Every structure is written in C-alpha cells, then in structure tokens.
Chains A and B, each alone.
Chain A
Amino acid sequence: MSDVFSPTAVISERRSELVSADIATIADFSAFEPAYRIESDIRIQAAAGYSTVLVHLPANRNDASPVRPDVHGCVVEGLATPVDPATQVVRARLAILRDPETILRPFLAGDALQLPRVLADRVICIAGPRRGRQAGPAEDQRLDAFVRNVFGATTLWASETEEARTELRNAGLRVLDELWRPSVIGPAVLRGQQPIRRVAPIVGVAGQGAATWWSTAAEEMKAAFALAGAGRARLLLPSLALAGGAFPEDWEVLAAEDSGLRRFLAGLDFFVFCPARGPEEEATFAIASAMAAGIPTILHPRLRRLFGDGPIYAEAEAVPGIVRRYHEDEDLYREASDFAAVASSPFGPEVHRSRLKVLVGVPARLAPTPAARTEKRVLFVSSNGVGLGHLTRQLAIARRLPKGVTPVFATMSQGFSVVRQAGFEVEYIPFLTQAGYDMALWDVWLADQLCQIIDGHRISGLVFDGVTPFAGLIEALRRRNNISAVWVRRSMWRKERTEHSLAAQKYFNLVLEPGEIAAVKDQGATRAFRDVVMPVAPIQLLDPSERLDRETAARRLGIDPQRPAVLIQLGAGANHDIVTLIDAALQTLRAHPEVQPVIAEWMISAMPLKLWPNVPRIRAFPLARYYAAFDFTISATGYNSFHEIVSNGMPAILLSNPNHAMDDQHQRAAFAEEHGAALILPDSDLVSLQLAIDTMMNERARWFLGANCARLAQPNGAAAAAAAIASTVQG
C-alpha cells in the first residue's frame, strides 16, 4: 500500500472549507471525449434533485486548457458547483471518477501533486476507452488500490464497452455487471424544435474517438452524403480528424471546439452513421442523442442489435435515396422522427437515474436544483449598420415572441434607446469604428463581452441579424456552445459581393431568411444557400392594424391633414450624401406651396438636418406608423423602408444608396418601378427628381402607384420568425 500512497500525494492538512453534495464528479473537464456524457449526466442529476460538485483534474497538470463549455455551461446555469481541490474538502455520497487511469496517472507516477480531498461513501470508476491500451492487470490493480486509499471508500468499476468490462474483470476488480451506457437528455430538452421545413435537408453526423478512424470513416460516408445538390452535409468531429483534409469542400465540417452536440443536432434534418466497420462506440452517444431529439436517424445495419427498430437501416449507397424520400413526404418524416424518439428510451435519462437510485439513494435535499427554468431568454445581437435596419427587424420579431420567451438585446447601434422604450432589456457594445478600426482586437473583446452578457442574463438562445457574423460572435458561440444560435440573414446582397461570411452558417442551428418582395431581382451570393434556410414572409415591425389613420397621424405630427404632405426619408446619411438630395427636393417642392414637406431625421444621424429653417423635422420611430399623414414619400430603399412603403401602398420616389457595403437597393427599386409601384431616381439625377415630384403631384398617378403596391404587398413574416426562434429554445 505504501508504494502507491507516495509521500508527495499526501492530503493537505490545511484548514479547509467543507462542501457536501450527493455526487462529486472527478474528471478532466477540459477533455472533449467525456464532455458530452458528463454534461448529460449533470443535467439528469440536477433534474432528479441530486446536488453535484465538480473536481477538475487535468490529465496534464501543466495544461491550463479551459474547461469544456458543455460542462462550464452547467455551472453557469447553477446545475453543478466546481470546487477548489486546494481549499475545499468534499463530502459526497458518491464520487464518480471519469477515466481514472488518465487523470490519476500523475499521482501514480509520484509527481509532486496535491490530491483532491474527496471523501465519499462509494466510489465508481468509469474506465476510459481501452483502445490501444498498454496497461495490464497489474496496473489496473495498482490503480484500484490507489483509489481505495485516497478516497477511503468502497470502489466499484464500470465500463462503457464489453471489451473493457472483460479486461477489468480479468484484473480481479469489482466490476458492475451492467455496462455504463450513455444516458442522454430526454426529448423535453432536445426535442424542442418544430421540424423546420427547408427546401433541401441538412444531413449530418457527430462523434468522438480516434481522429484517424474518422478520416477512414469519412471515405465510407462519402456515398451516403453524396446528395447531389439535394441537401448539405454537416459534420461535428474531433479536431484532429479534420487535419487530414479527408472531407469534400462542400461539406460543412465543425471541430469539437466549434459547437456543442445539442446545438449541432438542432441544426440537422437527418443523422447518418453508416461505416460498415470500426468501433461503434465512437458515435453511440451522438446517435442516441439524435434519436432522442427526434431526428430521423439512418444507421448501418450492423447497429441494429444496439438501437433496435427505431432508426432506418441502410448501406451508405442507399442513404441519398432514403433522405430524398423521407424529406419529400412530411408524414413519413414525422413517423421516422417519432420512431427514433421512442427507440431512444434504452439510452434515456432513466438509465442514469436508476443507477443513481442504487448507488446514491434518494437525493439528500428534497428541493430540486434549478434544473429547468420555464422562462427562456433569447439574446438579439445586431451589428451597427448605417441605420436601424437590423435592430428594427429584431424588434419586429422580439415583440411577437410567445409567452415564456423573453427577448434581451445586445446591439452595436447607438439608436438602442428605441429598444428600452419598447420595454426590453438592452446592452450596448460600441462598434469597431469607435475603437481604432482594429478588427482583430475588437473581436477578442466582443467575444468576452458577449459571454459576460450571456451569463449575466442566463441566455438560452442567440439571434444574430447582420450580414457578417463577426469573429468575436462566433468565438462567443464556441465558448457558450450549447445555447441555440439563429442567424437572421436578409438576402439581396450586391452581385459583386462574394464574402466568405456565408460559410459561418454552419455555426448556427437555423438560418432564417426574411422575405423580399423583389426576390426575383436578387443576384446575391445568398441565393446559392436558399435551399437550406427557413424562409419567412418579409419582416415588418408593424401590422396594418397598428398604423395610425391620417387624421390622428397628422395631428400628432402637427401638420394639416387637409393639405398634401411629403415625407423625405433618406436615411442616416452615414455613408452617402443626403444633404444635396434633400436640398434639391425642397427646391422643387417650393413650386407647390400647398405641399407640406417634412424631413425625417434618423435616430442615429451623424448631424442634425437643420439646414432648412422653415421645414419641420421629425424623429419618430417607427415612421411607418405615421405614413397615412403623407401623400407621398421621397425615400431610401433599405429593406425596412421599402417593405413598409409597399405594404402601406405609399406612393414613393425611391433612391438607392450607392454605397457598396449596402444591399442591392438599386434592384429593389427597379423591381418596384417595373411593376408600376414606385418611381425611381437614378443616383444624383436632380433633373429626374423634379420630373418625379411633378408626377407625384398628380392624384391619379399616386393612386396608380398605391394600387400596384397593394398588389405586391405580402403578409408580415415577423410572427412566423418569432415562432421559429422560440421553438429553438423551448423544450
């Protein structure tokens, strides 16, 4: 005994704080391999009322790698408490050692280390993967003696595979008869999503284990993922597996650090695992989780003995046809989803709960830990833009979220006061332009700030509205890797814009595309990905019933409802000259003295538009609420303005912002003109402006434009977007 209980591993005699818990989990929490299972176990324990403490023992004591976000997320949610091995003594009813041969190796080697002080009634050692294991029975016996000496308790061994169980038995250790099967979080947590009906399915696989094996498996999986344009392949694999470049370019491949398993699965329509050979435990947990989430699961027939009748079984070559058939038939898809969920029960939470009942008994305290909040909070993150477009779209969605889902905003827009005024919580993050334009550095701090906000508000899901998901945003999603992530990505990108930001869609479990009335004119890069996004009708802040009538609107604005009025709304002027255009419009309108021009000043205007002393200015949000007070508008053609104009049937002279960073406003305006729904003004063509204004003074012309707008108008898609987002966070 003395040879294993070396002097350097003596428990410290310092005064210590005592921490009591039902279960102490001792593991290397920075390791990818067990993280999924540990997270799942913690959640099941918390839901059953067991208290859990976590003792982090990195296999390499000099390695300060961060704890896996899967596990840290449980700490943030209050489901488990980490303890300091140096200053805290743990008294637990059960200690679970994950992969003891790895985490206790430094102690066995006699390195000068301080042992964790965990006193448990019972210790269960979960043997790690036995692949390529060098240790023999003698080594196992030595480890067993060490554990008994240190933790002073009855020690049992358990394994996840039959092979390992046999080895442990051969070493003469006390081994549980039952395998320590994966126990996955039940459908109440994972199966929250309504099936998202994409044009083409996203088909994926996730797994752990040896990187080299996955490279080989990828070769076999190519036939299964050869969907020939009828879908997308997405993989979540150990980081090293990605190094060999074994994967086709059009596959969306995520490393273990890029996403949690739950978020990854939430983005799939089918889960496929069909290598004909190789160790199956590499994907067992992911398969069981996918099934529990109700994702139709297609497996190689050799796995039938493990997973029973729930999944669909097929060789790799047959997979594309099966995917196509199930995706096209909604009833068939739903049936496969239900079968998968039901068949996942042998891997459900009850597996772990029944183990705990035997090993621990009932929880020490009756009040359950905060396992499941009924209220979910969604963080709406938006970039600055040059106006309020992103923020307005998010407000449109946020105010339509169902009961139990609360929006919180984190925006880079200085116009965030409108969010406060709408009654929502808001955080503000100064944009890159205010921080010396150092993009790389700004991203580093963005990630930190977002994580702080996510933790502080206990966020369950994040919704980003913007063209480019910043690197800092992606990093925050990696660090908080199981909150759901939705990208609201409007289309109509300029044709010349070929940014790689579209590749970032793999980090989101849902990409939601707000509709475009002018969609047929879309020449942008997002068109190539339209088959795998969820389309909704154009998103607008207001429903028709929320707009004011002419009398009321005019009275509130202080203008005469009996006289014609023109609204000049050309944007914030942040990236193009609006002063010249406004001046030209006002000069032309002087020929019509009965007309009341009003200039709309944007909430985040660079400077006040006070160059025209006799023309009233308004700062109102949202302007569309007051549209009825006006007979026509001279307007920019941003997404929100355009769709509000068309849906209000407002006669308009449209100007497109020529800045190359903007959306393709010219095409949008051209579409309206081609359909007789608006007049358009080519850039800086002041002569045309005069003609257009003269035309607008004709009542029949205005009627004609308004009627054609009504023909093009579409219903508001904000409620559908809100429902889809809510479904990603609600269990």
Chain B
Amino acid sequence: MTSHNDPAAFGAALSQSAAAELVALRERIQIQYALLDVYERADGRERTASRMEIRDAIGLAAEAGPSAGGGGADIAPDQVEAPEDAPAIPEGAPWWPTHETHAMGLRPNAGWAAYALTQSGTGVIGFSLCGLSSGEVEAGIEMVAATQRRTRNFIPLFLTDQPDLAPFRNRGFVVEYLPATAPSYVSDERWAEYIAARRAFLLRKWNLARIVDIGATLDQGPDLAVADLTGAPDRA
C-alpha cells in the first residue's frame, strides 16, 4: 500500500522501459488467469476439504449486545432522533461556489481476463447489480465478463449493494458499493437523493459512458443488457 504513496518516486521509477515491462506483465497476468480458469473448469470440482464460513457479525452482536449503529450502548426508543431532512445545499451553483473537481476520471482495472485493456483507450461502462441476490450478482458478473471476453471493447465498473466483494475480486474487477438501505438516522427520501448524487459522482469519477442496470435485463440475456456498449455517452 504505502510503497505507492510517493507519486514522484513512483513516476520516476516508471520509465519508458518499465512501462513496456508493465504492459508485458499485464498480458502475462491475463494469460495466467485464463489458464487457471480453464484448469478449474476442466477439473469441475472443488479439490479441497470443507471450508468453514463463520462470519457471524463478529459473533458478538447477539451475545454481548453492542448496539448496531448506535455505539456501545443501547438507545432507548424515546431517545432516537427523528430523521433529518436534507438541507438545500446547492451543488455547482456559481452564487455559492464550493470545491468542485474538474479532474479527469480514474481508470479502473479491466479484470484479470482482459487485464491488458487497462491502459488502452477502451471506454468504461458502469454495470449496476443493485437489487440483485448474491446468486444473481454472480450471474450478472459472468454475463458481463463473457461479453467482455467476446468483444474486448469495454472495461466494466460494477455497482453493487452486496457487501461481499469476493466475486468481483476473484475476477479482478473494480466495484463500487452503494448501501441498499438508509441508515436509521436518515430519512428514505434523503437517502434516495444521496444515492442519486453518488451515482452522478461515480459517472464523473470513473468517466463512465453510462450505467447499465443489469437487474432490469438479467433474464433477457446478455446481448440486450450490454447492447450498444460503445454507443454515445449517456449521463442523464
């Protein structure tokens, strides 16, 4: 982590020859990932003993009773505050100037199967898997990955409301998390505004051409969901 915290040193180290080496390395990662994928599919079975998954909220919430979302002690119902309404905070208004970022967007890693695309000029498309079950999330990722393998003309950036990022991490995809439910201290209405603002922010942050809602098209096949991937940007 911190070895990358000195941009000057990192930039200096990344000479032209190093950059070429980086490209070659990315291609090797891509090839190795593809080989691993083939082997695992050919094998077709888990070659290991049982794995015990114990992720039980630290195992403490029910037993020791740290209040969820409320610090170390329970809050009596009469002490819970009413949800707050959002203040009218103008964004980007010239009459109330605040800090605004006009920087270029970030470039997400392209995924292990197409890792060499990372530094190409390929466009980035957002895929929202919000509202899907974990099984559907897997299917959605596979659908996008399959399309990417076939077309090699886009880099996906996923949006999810599932906190388990392993399915994305295993494929080397980048994902942003949008919490599905409003915290107890925020009204649903204000939370919806917040999430809408976050989606607009993510469009700029990753320079997304658009956000495709996979949830709406999952059962209609991959072609419809990712049709016209290279179309004109749609930031509405």
Chain A residues packing against B (C-beta within 8 Å)? 30, 56, 64-67, 72, 75-78, 81-86, 370, 373-375, 377, 383-386, 395, 398-408, 414, 416-418, 420-428, 430-442, 444-445, 447-449, 451-452, 455-458, 467-468, 470, 479, 499, 501, 541-542, 546, 556-558, 601, 603-604, 606-608, 610-622, 625-626, 660-661, 722
Contacts and interface: CB of A to CB of B under 8 A. Distances in A.
Given A436-B119, A556-B54, A406 B59 contact: no
Interface of B: 1-7, 10, 46-61, 63-64, 66-75, 79, 81, 84-85, 87-90, 93-99, 101, 103-104, 106-109, 118-119, 163-165, 169-170, 174-177, 179, 183, 185-186, 194, 197-198, 201, 205
B48 A444 contact: no
Nearest to B173: A434
A425 B107 CA distance: 27
Contacts of A541: 58
A67 B52 contact: no
B48 A617 contact: yes
13 contacts: A67-B98, A84-B95, A375-B185, A400-B66, A402-B73, A417-B165, A423-B66, A435-B106, A448-B99, A456-B197, A457-B186, A468-B5, A619-B55
A444 B4 contact: no
Given A75-B89, A82-B90, A621 B5 contact: no
B103 A615 contact: no
A283 to B, nearest CB: 28
Contact of B94 (A64, A400, A619): A64
A426 B179 contact: yes
B89 A416 contact: no
Contacts of B67: 423
Nearest to B93: A84
B49 A384 contact: no
A76 B60 contact: no
B107 A373 contact: no
Contacts of B177: 416, 426-428
B61 A422 contact: yes
B174 A434 contact: yes
A401 B72 contact: yes
Given A78-B84, A417-B163, A428-B177, A64 B97 contact: yes
A82 B53 CA distance: 52
Contacts of A416: 163, 165, 177
A613 B60 CA distance: 31
Interface of A is mostly: loop
Contacts of B107: 435-436, 438
Nearest to A392: B58
Contacts of B93: 84
Nearest to A423: B68
A608 B150 CA distance: 27
B4 A433 contact: yes
Given A66-B99, A403-B72, A558-B52, 20 more contacts: A77-B87, A399-B60, A402-B73, A422-B57, A424-B69, A426-B177, A426-B179, A445-B101, A447-B99, A448-B101, A452-B198, A456-B186, A468-B2, A470-B5, A501-B5, A546-B60, A603-B55, A610-B47, A620-B59, A622-B59
A20 B39 CA distance: 71
A610 B49 CA distance: 8
A692 to B, nearest CB: 25
Given A441-B106, A541-B58, A383 B1 contact: yes
B180 to A, nearest CB: 10
A517 B176 CA distance: 38
Nearest to B181: A425
A722 B108 CA distance: 36
Contacts of A420: 163
B197 A452 contact: yes
A86 B93 CA distance: 12
Can you list the 6 inter-chain pairs with the closest CB atoms, starting with the nearest? A423-B68, A421-B57, A401-B71, A620-B54, A610-B48, A417-B163
A617 B96 contact: no
A322 B164 CA distance: 56
Given A430-B176, A436-B109, A604 B163 contact: no
A448 B201 contact: yes
B52 A620 contact: yes
Nearest to B107: A436
B95 A374 contact: no
B21 to A, nearest CB: 14
A617 B51 contact: yes
Contact of B51 (A83, A456, A619): A619
B223 to A, nearest CB: 28
A321 B61 CA distance: 51
A395 to B, nearest CB: 7
A58 to B, nearest CB: 8
B97 A373 contact: no
B57 A601 contact: no
B164 A438 contact: no
B70 A406 contact: yes
Nearest to B57: A421
B61 A384 contact: no
Given A56-B96, A370-B84, A448-B205, A403 B174 contact: no
A427 to B, nearest CB: 7
A20 to B, nearest CB: 15
B196 to A, nearest CB: 11
Contacts of A619: 51-55
Contacts of B57: 418, 421-423
Contacts of B175: 430
